[in-house]
Structure 1
């Protein structure tokens, strides 16, 4: 877009672009929270300590495909890409088109694929990109506040799409989601990261 086109754009679009330039990822994240608080679930991105703890159990040498639900502004994306093998892939799935547009524009890595869609459709999304399964799936979705039936659908699809020995990495702000998780994953490792806003409950559900 040139300067003449920018000047002709509606006022709300110009204000939005100015806010995005001023506040960067934090502004995009906050806008996403305001528009879709039930789906975003947090008002600030996760801390570096939380990221490191959540990813600590991943066997990166055995990871061909890593999937993330609800990537937001990419708080986990670059840390995952930094650890991922050069021939592996990261697919992120989000229902918020603002996040997907932002990530596609700002992450210039050939291993990265941003998909506008639902995590409940992870199996078809994985197949569309040439894979039979995922090795690890990461989620910060607020399972306890999702619309009725959505949480179980996502859990069931995730259990099916994972390879044996793979894991579902879930970070939440309460432990209540573990009851739902335990219906699909019999082995769940538990963790907690206090240096986060708010403190973070972590679960690793393993597929036997």
Structure 2
């Protein structure tokens, strides 16, 4: 059922969904293998879709870790709300990752240890991609990581404008095969968030 939902959303929203099929569990494993789940307090996921990567995060996380999911597709958002309604410390926002600073403020999240992304930067408008990546650098801890996957290395040079260190791994057990980019900054571009606000999520 999830596969049919994903295919339908790709047909109706090809620029924002970006793939005909949902990601494989093998790609999910590779996306989260570099996360220190014992120390991570706040993990954010952009574009969770049907929740393939989210399932990996929930399986491996410390139960006190807060996970924020940002999904722009209404159908996927509704699916996730129903699927994860019993999960503790999981916030789900319907909106664009461009507004991540507002979302973490509303949810009382002071910073992100990790941001993982299923967004198709190759098909998103350049200014949207620019806003998302810039705002991601603003919310990440100094030693935080942004982890994304793409089907080509075409956008690597663009992402390097925001993250100076990028480790690339390939996962062929996915259709189509994908590259996982683990991105880190040499230093913070903006001041780190500090203090926790009241939660409104």
Q: TM-score, normalised by structure 2?
A: 0.89
Specify which of 49, 56, 65 is matched with residue 79 of structure 1. 56
Aligned to 1:122: 100
Structure 2 residue aligned with 1:147: 125
Instruction: Establish whether residue 162 from structure 1 lines up as the match of residue 140 from structure 2.
Output: yes
Q: Does 1:43 align with 2:20?
A: yes
* Separation (CA, whole Å) in 1 of partners of 2:180 and 2:55: 20
Q: CA deviation at 1:94?
A: 1.3
Q: Report SS of the residue matched to 2:126.
A: coil
2: CA distance, partners of 1:66 / 1:152: 21
Cα distance in 1 for partners of 2:126, 2:173 equals 31
Q: Of the candidates 42, 48, 51, which is equivalent to residue 65 of structure 1?
A: 42
Unaligned stretches of 5+ in structure 2? 187-201
**Rg larger in structure:** 1
1:122-178 deviation line (CA, Å, top 9, x unaligned): 111011111111110011211121123101111101111101111000101011121
Q: In 1, Cα distance between the equivalents of 2:164 and 2:185?
A: 8
Say which SS state the counterpart of residue 27 (structure 2) adopts.
Answer: helix
SS at match of 2:122: helix
Is structure 2 residue 71 aligned with structure 1 residue 94?
yes
In the alignment, is the contact (CA less than 8 A) between 2:31 and 2:53 conserved in 1? no
Pairing partner for 1:171 from 149, 152, 168: 149
- State how many pairs are aligned: 185
User: 1:173 touches 1:200 (CA, 8 Å); kept in 2?
Assistant: yes
Which structure has more helix as a fraction of its residues?
1
d(CA) in 1 for partners of 2:153, 2:126: 19
* Residue of structure 2 equivalent to 1:195: 173
Q: Who is 1:17 aligned against?
A: none
Misfit runs of 4+, over 6 Å: none
- Give the conservation status (yes or no) of the 8 Å contact 1:162–1:207: no
Question: 5+ residue gaps in structure 1?
Answer: 1-23
Give the Å deviation of 1:77. Answer: 1.0
1:110 alignment partner in structure 2:
88
* Per-residue Cα deviation, 1:28-47 (whole angstroms, up to 9, x for no partner): 21121112110111111111
- Give distance in 2, aligned partners of 1:138 and 1:106: 20
CA distance in 2, matches of 1:62, 1:162: 14
> SS state of the match for residue 152, structure 1?
helix
Q: Distance in 1 between matches of 2:88 and 2:12?
A: 30
